[in-house]
Structure 1
Amino acid sequence: MKPRLLSMLAFGKRNSLIDGEFGGRHEDLNWAPPLVSREEYREILASDIPALEIHLRPADGPWVNGRCAALLSHYYVPDVPFELQVAALEDWVRLLSPFPKWAIQAAVDEWLSRPGRQKPMPGDIIAACRWRVEEPALNLKLLRKLVARYERELPGGRT
């Protein structure tokens, strides 16, 4: 994305604080998307939005299954019935399936590189995935608002 476009999107975001700590970036609901040029509009539609959609595309089920199985293998617990292991793995796969491969992999790598041997819960990895996809997902949402504004301003819609 071009710097001018990133600058426009920055005005549509706000930082959230939770108990005085940075809690992420969220859409500024008071943001009025500026009107972009025809060239910017076309580039957003042809390049920026498709690139972000690909970047945020959920990982495929077999990959998520394998990644979760590998993660959990680091935390072997003896005498757990096979059926229970399968059910737990299915929970992990179901909960992580909405996230892209790169976010899951980075979250798992971060967890495994921590000192200690605490077994993660699905929510631990989900939180790390959400943190990673938050900014690109917000950029995608704001880009779509720029496009909608442009299309509203034109007589006859898209050009």
Structure 2
Amino acid sequence: MTNLHPFPGPATPAATPSLPLPFDPAMAPALRGRLLREALPDPLRELLDSGRIGRRSRFTDDGFADVAEEWTPPAQVTPRHAALARRALVEIEESILAPASANHLLGRVLALLSHFPAKATTPEVEQLLAMDWADDLGEFPAWAIDHAARVWRRTRKWRPSIAEIRALCEEACAGERALADRLRAIVLAGERAGGSGGGTGAAAVRPVLAGAVRRMR
């Protein structure tokens, strides 16, 4: 049994965010993304539908990493579009994609690792391990961490590594992150259009990396 413990403080169980934008993490990702997109104002949906999608290879020091999708907003982005996109982006980032609390994260990790007993370690090492899990999963929302733990329990027979759970978390919230990236690009394009007296802000915006569409496994 592992000695990992949540950080001191009141437990905060994960809950489905209560938002003007509809969101239910229990839904299939495709349906969840469609409902979220349909709830956006019409001008934003039109921009999202008319942006340009490109693909490029990404490389690391180890060589080829993946093929990434790049989305560029259309030229007709205005400051009004930027205001609408900023409002939706705040809701997504502060609720749907809000990072899990340390207590929830470590509580979920403790429960998951308890299903796969390992050789006992000293309390000092266990504390360092807990800090590693909190650091490496701290960017993800509670619902994505819960999803990753559920998938691992039901499909694997061995103790998970941090990298494996990170990959499942990234997969769980890939659609919401991609939408946030595109809204962020619209905000930037609209602000630049306003600052240049109504020029084509999209031309000055670098394509947004909306996530890898194919990975080498």
Q: Which band: TM-score by shorter chain?
A: 0.7 to 0.9
The equivalent position to 2:182 in structure 1, one of 132, 142, 153, is: 142
DSSP 3-state at the match of 2:139: coil
Alignment partner, residue 113 of structure 2: 72
1:151 shift after superposition: 2.2
Instruction: Please say if residues 81 and 187 of structure 2, whose CA atoms lie closer than 8 Å, have aligned partners that are also in contact.
Output: no
How many angstroms apart in 2 are the aligned matches of 1:128 and 1:24?
Answer: 18
1:125 shift after superposition: 0.3
DSSP 3-state at the match of 2:69: strand
How many angstroms apart in 2 are the aligned matches of 1:76 and 1:64?
Answer: 19
Letter aligned with residue 142 of structure 1? R
TM-score normalised by L of structure 1? 0.74
Alignment partner, residue 4 of structure 1: 46
How many angstroms apart in 1 are the aligned matches of 2:47 and 2:196?
Answer: 25
How many angstroms apart in 2 are the aligned matches of 1:148 and 1:157?
Answer: 14
* Corresponding position: 1:51 with 2:86: no
DSSP 3-state at the match of 1:124: helix
1:74-125, Cα deviation, whole Å (9 max, x unpaired): 11225433333332222212211111111111111111111x5211001000
* Corresponding position: 1:27 with 2:70: yes
Alignment partner, residue 165 of structure 2: 125
DSSP 3-state at the match of 1:65: helix
How many angstroms apart in 1 are the aligned matches of 2:112 and 2:189?
Answer: 44
TM-score normalised by L of structure 2? 0.57
* Corresponding position: 1:110 with 2:151: yes
Instruction: Please say if residues 81 and 186 of structure 2, whose CA atoms lie closer than 8 Å, have aligned partners that are also in contact.
Output: no
How many angstroms apart in 2 are the aligned matches of 1:96 and 1:69?
Answer: 13
Q: Structure 1 residues 24 and 140, CA, compared in 2 at 3 Å: closer, same or farther? A: farther
Identity across aligned pairs (percent)? 26
The equivalent position to 1:85 in structure 2, one of 126, 133, 137, is: 126
Alignment partner, residue 63 of structure 2: none
Instruction: Please say if residues 68 and 93 of structure 1, whose CA atoms lie closer than 8 Å, have aligned partners that are also in contact.
Output: no
Output the aligned Cα RMSD. 3.0
* Corresponding position: 1:154 with 2:194: yes
DSSP 3-state at the match of 2:173: helix
Structure 1, gaps ≥5 residues long: 18-22
DSSP 3-state at the match of 1:113: helix
Number of residue pairs the alignment of both structures matches: 149
1:39 shift after superposition: 5.2
Structure 2, gaps ≥5 residues long: 1-36, 59-65, 199-217
Instruction: Please say if residues 100 and 139 of structure 2, whose CA atoms lie closer than 8 Å, have aligned partners that are also in contact.
Output: yes
Report runs of 4+ in structure 1 exceeding 6 Å deviation.
Answer: none
Q: Structure 1 residues 118 and 157, CA, compared in 2 at 3 Å: closer, same or farther? A: farther
